[in-house]
Amino acid sequence: MRLPILAATLIITAARVSAAEPFIIVQSTTSTQNSGLYDSILPEFTAASGIAVRVVAVGTGQAIMNARNCDGDVLLVHAKAAEEKFVADGAGVSRSDIMYNDFVIVGPHDDPAGLSDAKTVSKAFDKLESGDFVFTSRGDDSGTHKKEMALWQMAGVDPTQASGTWYRETGSGMGATLNIAIGMNAYAMTDRATWIAFGNKADHKIVFEGDNALFNQYGVILVNGERCPSVKAEEGQAFIDWLLSETGQSAIGAYRRQGQQLFFPNARK
Amino acid sequence: MLEIGTAFRAAFNLIVGFDPDLVEIIGLSLQVTLTAVFVACLIGFPLGAVLAVGRFPMRGTLVVLVNALMGLPPVVVGLGVYLMLSRAGPLGVLNLLYTPTAMVIAQVILVTPIIAALTRQVIEDMNLEYDELLRSMGAGRLSQMLTLLWDARYALMTAALAGLGRALAEVGAVMIVGGNINHVTRVMTTAIALETSKGELALALGLGIILMALSIALNATLMGFRRTAERLAYA
């Protein structure tokens, strides 16, 4: 009795897939997805080009690994050094800056460690080394995690020595890490877009921001079709061209959450 | 922090508003899960019966193995299927990664051991009682298995429901092989994970409540089906 129904749904699925418009797969980061940026700008691109964009949002490390396995046409992440290595290794064609925002440090509203008094992010991280306050780290090789590790190094602190005590590596995405930080009344580093769009802020607030070292650059790369024959190079390039065009750039700049601009377009003209 | 009431309100608003995204997500969840459980039944029932009735070397080892595979971590299955279906993997040419079909494959791997192991137990217990009778009637191994499977059909429905519960609830496998792509591979559990990561806890919990309701409805339907069938059988 169930058999015909199941057979029908399978056929419908197959039909839906084959009749679908051309699409590309973009390996990307959670911050761009969770902040709602893609929901805002992708329909515009699809309407103009007829190309649907399927976003797989994971940490930057995993996104790069997936793209290395040829499981995507375009890579849009935020870890410049890793992106340049991706291109240098021949996995990607070329890398372009597309937009930026910045990282911030969030913490309990009364800021017990006094991070807001620090002049630089290095000084802020120094204050955490005392070990009296909990800091939750992504610990997942994402773009944010790579940045955080670079900042600790700049501060001359090796927090991984204290892993499990005041330094907690969650091994999870940005949202999960923020949920943990809020649950434990701890500090955490996040990109501003994710924080503004985050729905479970409780009493947490931004306690440190504004250091140039917290700059967060996003880049876009076409996966190399010579290495990965499955790559839809033409459609992927069309998407990249659109992102870098005036239309795409102003669509990125126009996106607001709670009246605030989350991403600042900076493609080279 | 978070009121349960807010979650129920979120669930209520989604259902009453007949949210088109929600309808799509529920539809895909059901489609993937029911297809996976159906395929898993096609494999698991005969496999369980063979393990229960068959007499062959290594049978005990196989039984232990199938029982152990009930505890397969979904994320490991997801990773394994990803590595197979990835463009860089052996089955990459099939172009199945990030499609509902990939999610079905992963769930079949997860669910088949559960159905096979439970089937084996049911059939083996039944066989203790009927083995002599069936053989005295001259039934071969094959017809013995088929007879027992048919007689155990209501108990096997519970095995299928256990598999359904697993498939409907897991997130680790479908997240990796489906990619949680909006309008393509987003199902209930990956949507819940996404909303949690956005900090939209009330909405996430609301979706969880809807998933529970869905599970109850499915189970109740099958239970009603069984009752009716039993009544008809005795009438």
With 0-12 CB in 10 A as exposed, 13-18 as middle and 19+ as buried, what is B193? buried
CA of B129 vs chain A CAs: smallest distance (Å): 30
pLDDT over 80 (residue A17): no
pLDDT in tens, A18-53: 446 799 999 999 889 999 999 999 999 999 999 999
Which ranges of B54-152 does DSSP label H, i.e. alpha helix?
Answer: 59-69, 74-85, 100-136, 141-151
pLDDT in tens, B185-229: 999 999 999 999 999 888 899 999 999 999 999 999 988 888 888
Burial string for A101-111 (b: 16+ CB within 10 Å, else e) reads bbbbbbbbeeb
Mean pLDDT value across chain A: 91
CA of A56 vs chain B CAs: smallest distance (Å): 5
The residues, any chain, with a CB within 8 Å of residue B52's CB and separated by 6 or more, are B119, B120, B121, B122, B123, B124, B127, B145, B148
Whether residue A27 contacts residue A66, with contact meaning beta carbons closer than 8 Å, is answered with yes
Q: Whose CA is closest to A180, among A146, A135, A127?
A: A135
Q: Whose CA is closest to A199, among B2, B172, B38?
A: B2
Q: Whose CA is closest to A41, among A221, A262, A268?
A: A262
- pLDDT, position A11: 46
Does B86 sit within 8 Å of A71, measured CB to CB? yes
A6 vs B89, higher pLDDT: B89
What average pLDDT does the segment B114-128 reach? 96
A5 pLDDT band, cuts 50/70/90, is low
| Model ipTM over 0.90 | no
Q: What pTM was estimated for this model as a whole?
A: 0.88
Does A199 sit within 8 Å of B200, measured CB to CB? yes
Does A71 sit within 8 Å of B31, measured CB to CB? no
Domains and CATH numbers, chain A: 2-101+217-265 (3.40.190.10), 102-214 (3.40.190.10)
Chain B residues in contact with A63 (beta carbon < 8 A)? none
Whether residue B152 contacts residue B51, with contact meaning beta carbons closer than 8 Å, is answered with no
Q: Whose CA is closest to B127, among B49, B43, B62?
A: B49
Chain A CB within 8 Å of residue B34 CB = yes
Domain ranges of chain B: 24-200
DSSP 3-state assignment of A92? Answer: strand
| B window 49-108, beta carbon within 8 A of A | 86-89, 92, 95, 97-101
Does A179 sit within 8 Å of B199, measured CB to CB? yes
Q: Which of A17, A175, A228 sits opposite B196 (nearest CB)?
A: A175
Q: Which of B95, B181, B201 sits opposite A54 (nearest CB)?
A: B181
Does B200 sit within 8 Å of A197, measured CB to CB? no
pLDDT in tens, A186-221: 999 999 999 999 999 999 999 999 999 999 999 999
With 0-12 CB in 10 A as exposed, 13-18 as middle and 19+ as buried, what is B183? exposed
Chain B residues in contact with A56 (beta carbon < 8 A)? 98, 179-181
| pLDDT > 90: percent of chain A | 87
Does B198 sit within 8 Å of A175, measured CB to CB? yes
- pLDDT, position B235: 66
What average pLDDT does the segment A236-261 reach? 96
- pLDDT, position A1: 42
pLDDT over 80 (residue A77): yes
- pLDDT, position B46: 96
B2 pLDDT band, cuts 50/70/90, is low
Residue at A68: amino acid letter: R
CATH T-level topology, domain B24-200: MetI-like fold (1.10.3720)
Does B1 sit within 8 Å of A70, measured CB to CB? no
- pLDDT, position B15: 80
pLDDT in tens, A55-70: 999 989 999 999 999 9
pLDDT in tens, B17-45: 878 889 999 999 999 999 999 999 999 99
pLDDT over 80 (residue A80): yes
